[in-house]
Copies of this chain bind each other. A is one copy, B any other.
Amino acid sequence: MGATIRDVAQAAGVSVATVSRLVNGTGRVRDDTARRVQTAIDRLGFRPNAIGRNLSTARTRTLGVVIPSLSNPVFADAVAGINAEAKAQGYTLMFMATDYVRTDEQALVGTLLAYQVDGLILTVADAADSPVLDALDRDDVPYVLIYNQPTARNRPTVTVDNVTAGREVADFFADLGHERLAMVSGTLTASDRARARRDGFVAGAEARGLAAPRVLEVDFVDLDADAAVAPLFADRTGAPTALFCSNDLLAISVIGALGRLGLGVPADVSVIGFDGIAVGAQLHPTLATVAQPSREMGRVATTRLLARLAGETAAPATVLPHTLRPGESAGPAAKPCPADLQVPFHHNGRSPS
C-alpha cells in the first residue's frame, strides 16, 4: 500500500539501517542525515509496517481479549477499560467473543496466539477446569483472567470476592426480613463466578438460619424468562419473597417476567442482581445489585498483564472491592397479616402499600 523502509532509504540516500534507527530512536543519527530522512518519510508518507517489525522483533504490542459477549454491558465496560489502558501504553487489542460457547474458547485463543499477541486477557467459563488455561500455562503464555473465580492453581486473576458478595446478598435479604430466598442463575457450569455467588448466597442463608435457597438454573443465552421463573411461583404459598439473580441482565428479564406473572417488585418479590451495569440505576424500580468495578477491572488486568510482559511476576489474584448497591427492586419483606386480610398478589407492579 505504502512506501517501505527501503523506499525511504533510497530517497534519502542512506541505508535502511539508518532509517530504522531514526524511526525507532535507537542509535544516534547525525542531524542533517536525520533531516534528510525525515523529509523523505514525510514526502512518501511512510508508515512502518508493523508486520515486518513484529516478525523481526517477535513482539507485536498487541493484546488478545477473549470474553463471552460484547452485548452484556459488564463485558463491554471491561473491554473499554482494557482498551483505555492498552492504548495509553501503546498496545492494540485483538478481540474475540465466545458467545458463551465454552468449547470455542480454545480455538479463539488459538487464533489470537497465531497472531502472536503479546498476552491475553480473558474470561473463561471455568478457571478451575479449563483446557485453554492449561495450554496457556504449559506454553508459558502471559495472561490475566478477569471476572473468573480464583482457584487453587493460583492463576493470575482480577476479580471481586464473589463468595463474600453472595453471602452479603443473603444477609441483605435476611436483614430485610425475608425468609424464603431463591436464586436464579445462568448455567452454573458455564460460569465459575455464578457458582461462587451461589455458594456464598447459600452459605449466608444457612448462617442466618434460613431454609436453603432454591437455585434455579436457566439458559441465559436465549432466555425465556417467563417459563424460567414460573416454577418458582407455581406454589405461591411457599414461593420465595426474595430473588438473587446471578447478573443484572438476568435480573432485568426476571423482573419483567414477574410482572407478567402478576407479581410486583418489590411489593411481592424483592430482586437483586449482580454486576452494577449502568442502566440498573435508571430502571424503575431501580435495580438493587452488587456492583463490580468493571472498567477498573479491565484497567487493572491490563496493567498487570503489561507488568508481566515487562518481566515482573505478579500476585495470583487481585480482588477488587464490590459494592452491594441497594435499589428499589429490593424492599423489606411484607409483614404477614391475618389470613383473611391477605392480598397476596396484585396485577400491577405496584403494591397497595
Interface residues of A (CB under 8 A from B): 1-2, 45, 47-52, 54-55, 60, 62, 69-71, 73, 76-77, 79-80, 83-84, 87, 92-97, 99, 110-116, 139-141, 252, 255-256, 278-279, 282-285
Contact between chains at B92 and A94 (CB < 8 Å): yes
Query: Given contacts A70-B79, A96-B87, are A49 and B116 in contact (CB under 8 A)?
Result: yes
Query: Given contacts A76-B70, A284-B283, are A48 and B139 in contact (CB under 8 A)?
Result: no
Contact between chains at B50 and A70 (CB < 8 Å): no
Shortest Cβ distance from A15 into chain B, in angstroms? 21
Contact between chains at B83 and A76 (CB < 8 Å): no
- Assembly CA distance A113 to B141 (angstroms): 26
Q: Which of B1, B55, B73, B77 contacts A52 (CB 8 A)?
A: B55
Identical copies of this chain, number: 2
Q: Which residues of chain B have C-beta atoms less than 8 A from A50's C-beta? A: 114-116
Q: Which residues of chain B have C-beta atoms less than 8 A from A48's C-beta? A: 114
Contact between chains at A252 and B62 (CB < 8 Å): no
Q: Which residues of chain B have C-beta atoms less than 8 A from A54's C-beta? A: 51
Contact between chains at B62 and A115 (CB < 8 Å): yes
Query: Given contacts A54-B51, A60-B51, are A95 and B97 in contact (CB under 8 A)?
Result: no
Q: Which residues of chain B have C-beta atoms less than 8 A from A1's C-beta? A: 113, 116, 139-141
Q: Which residues of chain B have C-beta atoms less than 8 A from A49's C-beta? A: 114, 116
The closest CB in chain B to the CB of A279 belongs to B279
* A-B CB proximity, top 6 nearest: A284-B284, A76-B76, A279-B279, A50-B114, A70-B80, A50-B115
- Assembly CA distance A252 to B282 (angstroms): 7
Q: Which residues of chain B have C-beta atoms less than 8 A from A2's C-beta? A: 139
Question: Among A52, A94, A95, A113, which residue has the most Cβ atoms of chain B within 10 A?
Answer: A95
- Assembly CA distance A279 to B139 (angstroms): 42
The closest CB in chain B to the CB of A76 belongs to B76
Shortest Cβ distance from A107 into chain B, in angstroms? 10
Question: Among A1, A282, A284, which residue has the most Cβ atoms of chain B within 10 A?
Answer: A282
Shortest Cβ distance from A260 into chain B, in angstroms? 13
Q: Which of B69, B111, B252, B278 contacts A92 (CB 8 A)?
A: B111
Query: Given contacts A70-B83, A279-B282, are A115 and B96 in contact (CB under 8 A)?
Result: no
Query: Given contacts A2-B139, A76-B73, A76-B76, are A51 and B96 in contact (CB under 8 A)?
Result: no
Q: A70-B70, A70-B79, A283-B283 are in contact. List 4 more A-B contacts (CB 8 A).
A: A47-B110, A87-B97, A252-B279, A282-B283
- Assembly CA distance A255 to B99 (angstroms): 33
- Assembly CA distance A115 to B139 (angstroms): 25
Contact between chains at B77 and A71 (CB < 8 Å): yes
Contact between chains at A47 and B279 (CB < 8 Å): no
Q: Which of B95, B116, B283 contacts A95 (CB 8 A)?
A: B95
Q: Which residues of chain B have C-beta atoms less than 8 A from A256's C-beta? A: 282
Q: Which residues of chain B have C-beta atoms less than 8 A from A83's C-beta? A: 70, 95-97
Q: Which residues of chain B have C-beta atoms less than 8 A from A97's C-beta? A: 80, 83-84, 87
